[in-house]
Amino acid sequence: MNASTGIETKVAAQGSVALAVGYLAQIVLTIISQHTSIVIDDTLANEITVFCTVVAGWVAGYYAPHTHRLDVPVVPAAPTRKVQSVPLPPDVPHA
């Protein structure tokens, strides 16, 4: 968590990357449609933009470091116990 803003890193990464990729996708689609003979329908352009922003936001949130909340204490892991290994019964063919 950023100490000055109180915004968690994963949330900030998802939002900022999605915003940047959305603008970038619109710019690229506009340049492609204006400078080439390719005609891109408005509906398809919107779907491409939404898809790109969702995927980029998910990837940014996945790879951003996790920050713990300062107001919630960290819970220690539960103690582990050893499990006894029990041999399986022999495989008996069915009659």
- pLDDT given at position 2: 46
CA gap 37, 63 in Å, rounded: 38
CA gap 37, 35 in Å, rounded: 7
- pLDDT given at position 26: 92
Please state whether the predicted TM-score (pTM) of the whole model is above 0.85. Answer: no
- pLDDT given at position 5: 53
- pLDDT given at position 59: 95
Positive or negative, the Cα torsion across 7, 13, 14, 19?
positive
Other residues' Cβ atoms within 10 Å of the Cβ of residue 14: 21
Residue boundaries of the structural domains of the chain? 9-63
- pLDDT given at position 71: 74
**Owner of token pair 């950023």:** 2
Mean pLDDT, consecutive 10-residue stretches, the chain (95 aa), reads 63 92 94 86 91 95 82 79 82 71
**Structure-block tokens of residue 12:** 């900030």
